[in-house]
Each structure stands twice: as structure tokens, then as C-alpha cells.
Amino acid sequence: MPTTPNPSAPPAPDGPLIVQSDRTVLLEAAHPAADDARRAIAPFAELERAPEHIHTYRITPLALWNARAAGLDAETVVHVLVTYSRFPVPHALLTEIAETMGRYGRLQLVADPAHGLVLRATDSPVLEEVLRSKRTAGMLGERLGDADVVVHPSERGRLKQALIKLGWPAEDLAGYVDGEAHPITLVEDPAGAAAGSPEAFALRPYQRQAVDAFWSGGSGVVVLPCGAGKTLVGAASMARSSTTTLILVTNAVSARQWKEELIRFTTLTADEIGEYSGARKEVRPVTIATYQVLTMRRKGTYPHLDLLDARDWGLIVYDEVHLLPAPVFRMTADLQARRRLGLTATLVREDGREDEVFSLIGPKRYDTPWKDLENQGWIAPAVCTEVRLTLDAGERMSYATSESEDRYRLAATSPRKRDVVERILARHRGEEALVIGSYVDQLEDLAEHLGAPIITGATTVRQRQRLYDDFRAGKVPVLVVSKVANFSIDLPGASVAVQVSGSFGSRQEEAQRLGRIMRPKSDGRQAHFYTVVARDTKDQEFAAHRQRFLAEQGYAYEIVEADDL
């Protein structure tokens, strides 16, 4: 049984944290040690609210299990809390942390030469609890002594899902099939990169650490900010594996971008990389498929899921893993014998299915604070600003008398935002800027008003590619984009983003949109992210929710009045 760690240091009389028995942790945002404390608690606590002065975190079981899988133990967690806490940490919470973290790994999935796959318990009563649970009915086979029970290989993923629901996350040590060998080598040129050659590259230290952490863990998720080179982490993992690889991405533009970068950064040729999307159905040693085509239904079935068995894949890469659709979760349960790498800027899922990512893709293997990479110059420093405007009398009356479900759209699409956007862009004349929103009619109006091109879901892939290329080349200074540009689009020159509407209170969307402008700039200038909101409406309410993830990363939003621009 886990023992309660003994705090080795008294609480700091002026620490930035207040740790409470209900697992909430309050952080005084203005405290001189707030940034250090935020970084220290990030591996095991999740931000819930971030108003101006006090940020509220919660220590959740999943966060503790992710921390445990990443190598942190209960003593380390307790030491962090005690070091930064202003008051004594409740002893009951220390016990709860130790017991919760001690649940990870009490059950292990291991390979057995005689029986294939076995669930092994280090604690017999835990195995008894699992055997008697309805959640595991039909998944477990013959009992082998006190500690082992046979598992059918096809149930490996579903069993892990069931066990985490029971509060006993299994450590998967059963290993992986090698897959079909295929040579892949990174084309690194450290000397050229150090000399500033635009064609040369070398893995950055944190990218190398991410690959090492993933590979030693077998499967799991690497969390890095947008602009920090997640694709390179994927390419380096492919080189480490040197096997056939299936890469799952969000859309066709992202698929093309992956293909271009793999050709640039590895020894792979265009003929070795297949694209499996709506337009093409190529299966090659490295195949890039979109989530959309995999989840396409025809007469109640998913005809393209056969792609998963089309080759003996040695590695499966899930780009933007926080967007993994439910059908892909289900088929991932059948792929537990293959190495799986999830790439994302945030583990936040608006559907609350983070535990399924943990079970089916794997635990978080590597994470680094955005501000650390900013301080090291790997991503651009960013200034976040919330611009508040007041609806006019007519708009306020329409808002007040509308149905609840219509209010966000009414406030978010206020025509008053048009002039505010124009003033913001005037402040950044000469810089490449994105205007981002979720309502196409609002964006079309803005595009016409600004004389700027627009990209929406209706824009063809070829047209999108042309507009992105023109934007990168500086031919188009302002580009209006819908949520199709939220993910996996590389626009390194963009330094300004103006958000006029979003997917309600989506935290991951906010992070992705900021990420569009965080590629480091050659002249070292800052990135500016503006979100324009209507005061005292659901627009402002949802904006506060959207900002939570970025607040967790240390980004504070300055609030300014639209009339002061």
C-alpha cells in the first residue's frame, strides 16, 4: 500500500498557493513566485478559473496518473505543494494524493509466452474487484494463480478503458509488434542550422527529449505549443521506428503540409508517401489519412477503416490528438499492439474524453510550458488583448428578448466589431494578419469590408493552398479564415490574429488560434492576439472560459475598451 509522503519543508509564510482539502489550489497571480509555482503544479493540476487576481486549479485523478506515468512520484507532488503553499497543506489531501497516484501500475498488462496477454496485479484484492465488475465482463479469461488472468489480445484497448473507469489505470507493458520495416532517416545538418542556413535544420533539445520520452514509454502523447515543431517530433519518431507509418491528420491541407515536411526533413521521397483523403486513396509505406475520410459512413458502415489493416504498420501518428473523433477512438482500441504517438498543443477535450486518450493512445509522455519555449526563443513572445465593446441600444434589446440559444451568435456577430477590427489592423499596418471567426456570414461581411480574401469550409483545397501560399509570400497582407484554419496550418509570417467569434467556450480552439501566430519571427517581434467581445453578454462569458488554458500557460489578457483603440 502507498504510504503518505512526509512533507520535508514547512509552508512558506508568503507562498503564492493556498491548497485546500477539496483538491482545489488557489494561485495568487500577482505573487513574485506565481510563474514558478504555476510551472511546478502544471504536471498534476488543471486550471479551472482564471480571473484577474486568483487562479483556481484542481488536482484530478487523471492529472495525477499522467504525472505518475511521466515519472513523478507522490513525494515530488507533495514537496511542490508544501514548498509553495502559504498555509499547511491538509494532511487528508496528502494521503489522497499518495493513494491516487499509487493506483497507477497496480495492474499491468504484460506479454506471456504461453498465454499471449495477461493482466497482472501487484495487489490481489484489486484483481478480485476487477474480476467482479460488470465493466470487465467478457474481457477476461482464465485465472492463472492469485495475480494473473488471461486477456484476449483483441480486448487490450477496451479493457484499459474499463479499468480507468474503475479507478485502476493499467500500465501497459505488453510491448508492440515491430511492423513492416521501412528505412527512414532524418536529414539533420547541425552546423548549417547553427550558421543560419534556411535549408538546414537540427532537432532542438526539447524535440529530442520529446522523442526519447515517447520511445522509452512505448506509446503516448507529446504536448508542445503550436509553432514548436510537433511535425518534426513525429518525423524523428518515424526515423527511430524505421517502419511503415500511418499518420492521421485533421484535413487535406494538413496532409499536404505533412508530406512536404517529411520530404524536406527525412530521406523519404514523394513516391514513398501516400495521401488517403477525399480526393486520393493512395496506400504507401508512409500513408497520411484524414480523420474525415476514416469516419465517413456509407450505409451504416465505415468503408475506409480497412486502411488500418492495409499494411503491417509499425507506428501510428495521431496529429491534433485532442480532436480524435469517436469512431477513431473505437478503432484505436483494436490497435493496441502497434506503437501510437499522439501530438497536440493541448490535452483539453471539450467532450471530456481525456481519459480515453490516456487509455487508448497512452499517457502524456512529454510536456513543456509555453513560456519556457518563449523565453528560450523557440516560439514568439505573445501579447493577448481582450477588446470589449458595448452593443448599441437596438442590439441590446434584440439580445435581451432573444432565446437563450441564440444569444451568443447575436452578440458574437455584432456589426460593431467590423470597425473595431479595422482599427486593430490599422495599428499593425505592414504586418501579416489573420481575422478568425466561426460564423461564415460574419466573416464574408468582414472580408468584403476589408477587401481581404476569405477561406471557409466551402473553399476548395486547391484555392486554400493558393491563398495560404500568397499569404506566406506576402502578397496577401490580411487573410480572413473560418475554423478550417484552426489546426495544422503553418503560416510562419503571421504575427497578428484578431478573433471575432469562436466555438462557444472552447479552450483548445483558443490555444490553436494563438498558435497560428507563434512561429518565431526573424526580426524577433512579438505576436499580438486580439479577441473582440461584446460586454455583458454570453460573448464575454464564453471568452473568459476560452482563455483558461492560455492562462494556465502564463498568458494574461489585457482588457481594453474598444473606444480607446
Question: What pLDDT digit, counting tens, does each position of 477-512 carry?
Answer: 999 999 877 665 778 789 999 999 988 667 778 888
Share of the chain above pLDDT 70, in %: 95
Residue 324, domain CATH: 3.40.50.300
Question: Between the CA of residue 116 and those of 106, 108, 408, what are the distances in Å?
Answer: 20, 14, 54
Q: Could you tell me if residue 342 is inside a domain?
A: yes
Predicted confidence band of residue 521 (pLDDT cuts 50, 70, 90): confident
- Round to whole Å and give the CA distance between 124 and 126: 5
10 Å Cβ neighbour count for 406?
Answer: 12
Q: Residues of 384-396 as b/e, b for ≥16 C-beta within 10 angstroms?
A: bbbbbbbbeeebb
| Contacts with 317 (C-beta within 8 Å, 6 or more apart), sequence order | 234, 237, 238, 245, 246, 247, 248, 341, 343
For residue 5, pLDDT over 80 is answered with no
For residue 7, pLDDT over 70 is answered with no
Residue 423: its H or E element: helix 416-427
Q: Could you tell me if residue 12 is inside a domain?
A: no
Q: Could you tell me if residue 51 is inside a domain?
A: yes
Closest to 101 (Cα-Cα) out of 125, 66, 128? 66
92 exposure class (CB count in 10 Å sphere: 0-12, 13-18, 19+): exposed
Kindly state the DSSP code that residue 266 receives in the 8-state scheme: B
* Stronger pLDDT, 510 or 59, i.e. the higher one: 59
**pLDDT of res. 189:** 82
Specify whether 120 is located in the same domain as 75: no
For residue 277, pLDDT over 90 is answered with no
pLDDT tens profile 136-159: 988 999 999 889 999 988 899 999
Specify whether 289 is located in the same domain as 168: no
Amino acid in the structure at residue 23: R
Residue 551: its H or E element: helix 548-552
Looking at 350, 372, 394, which one is the last position of a domain? 372
Q: In the predicted model, what is the mean pLDDT of residues 111-124?
A: 93
Q: Could you tell me if residue 182 is inside a domain?
A: no
Residue 255: its H or E element: helix 252-265
Q: Could you tell me if residue 121 is inside a domain?
A: yes
φ, ψ of residue 347 to 5 degrees: the values are -85, 0
Closest to 413 (Cα-Cα) out of 401, 423, 421? 421
Highest averaged pLDDT of the listed ranges 46-60, 61-75, 295-309? 61-75
**pLDDT of res. 11:** 57
Question: Between the CA of residue 146 and those of 122, 149, 152, what are the distances in Å?
Answer: 10, 9, 19
Specify whether 394 is located in the same domain as 360: no
- Round to whole Å and give the CA distance between 261 and 288: 12
φ, ψ of residue 231 to 5 degrees: the values are -60, -40
Looking at 345, 372, 399, which one is the last position of a domain? 372
- Round to whole Å and give the CA distance between 550 and 543: 12
pLDDT tens profile 314-331: 999 999 888 888 777 777
Span of 156-170, 307-321, 342-356, 433-447 with lowest mean pLDDT:
342-356
- The three three-digit cell numbers of residue 349, written as one number: 477535450
- Number of domains present in the structure of the chain: 4
Span of 243-247, 446-450, 504-508 with lowest mean pLDDT:
504-508
- Round to whole Å and give the CA distance between 479 and 486: 13
Q: Residues of 40-74 as b/e, b for ≥16 C-beta within 10 angstroms?
A: bbbbbbbbeebeeeebbbebbbbbbbbbbbbebeb
Average pLDDT in the chain: 89
* Stronger pLDDT, 5 or 482, i.e. the higher one: 482
10 Å Cβ neighbour count for 439?
Answer: 16
Specify whether 26 is located in the same domain as 146: no
Complete DSSP assignment for 291-312: HHHHT--BTTB-GGGGGGGSS-
Specify whether 250 is located in the same domain as 367: yes
For residue 10, pLDDT over 70 is answered with no
Q: Could you tell me if residue 180 is inside a domain?
A: no
Looking at 53, 72, 102, which one is the last position of a domain? 102
φ, ψ of residue 246 to 5 degrees: the values are -110, 125
Span of 93-97, 171-175, 180-184 with lowest mean pLDDT:
171-175
Predicted confidence band of residue 12 (pLDDT cuts 50, 70, 90): low
Structural domain of 348? 190-372
Q: In the predicted model, what is the mean pLDDT of residues 157-184?
A: 94
- The three three-digit cell numbers of residue 459, written as one number: 473553399
